[in-house]
Structure 1
Amino acid sequence: MKIVQIGTGGWGKNHARVLSELGVLCAICDTNEQRSKEFGEKYHVNHYTSFEDMLNSEEFEGAFVVTPTSTHATIAKKLLEAKKHVFVEKPLTYKTEEGEELAKIAEKNKVILTCGYIERFNPAVDVVKSMVKEKNMAI
């Protein structure tokens, strides 16, 4: 399987490293030319500053979208319409309607759409849940 990644900021650095270690990363895209080049060279993959150029130039089955949340819906929609499997870093979108639309497109095109949820396993989240449940907000 070949995976492309769009975005190399915060969580993107981690995703790129892991995808490279798994041997599936085939291209990086970031609008920041310096970061795109840095990660492309670091992981020995093609690098782009234009999402459209990457989409039209690369052969791949799936994509990681690790960009600002405001761009998730637009990028994911184009990928799903191109019949690519898509992982979107959390949150999936700002608007419920956008998420629902993406889910429908994924179902129609028989591709997987999933969202990051690693924070569900963060022990601090369990502590906060317990505090809210017990209405104990004192730290």
Structure 2
Amino acid sequence: MMLWVFAAIGALIILGLSIYAGILFSRLHKQNKEIAAGEAKRLEYIHESIATIALAMQQGQCELSEGCIRLAVLLDNVPNAEQQGFAKRFPAIHSMFEKIKHMPTHDARKTYPKKEIRKMDREREKLEVEMEADIQTDVVAIIAWVKSVRA
């Protein structure tokens, strides 16, 4: 009789733990779906931002140097960016970024003397003129790439 009681208690414990494990697996599955949805939304936002900036550069609504900075940073935030080889696929954009990334932006510009800021602006503008054709080629390629990954 005692053996049956222990067996029944053991079975109830196993049943309870099984139900608890099922609840935990269900929560984990839901959490993983939410994370995946969040990642997909983040990636869509990055792609949309890349397309918008590239289009603005193509239409002359955004300075090429500013666009290159923004695109390089956004491309670095794409999952598996290193494996995708964006620096090699879009060399002019990354080249411009590397040449101007040391230049201060926003509030940091205010800490430099106006003469030095003008010098950096002239350097940046000269680079924009020199690299414009290559950058525009990369912009066309980026727009095509974004269309292909969103399709």
Classify the TM-score, shorter chain.
under 0.3
Choose between structure 1 and 2: higher strand proportion. Answer: 1
Q: Which has the higher contact order (CA 8 A, sep 6+)?
A: 2
Choose between structure 1 and 2: higher helix proportion. Answer: 2
Which protein has the larger Cα radius of gyration, Structure 1 or Structure 2? 2
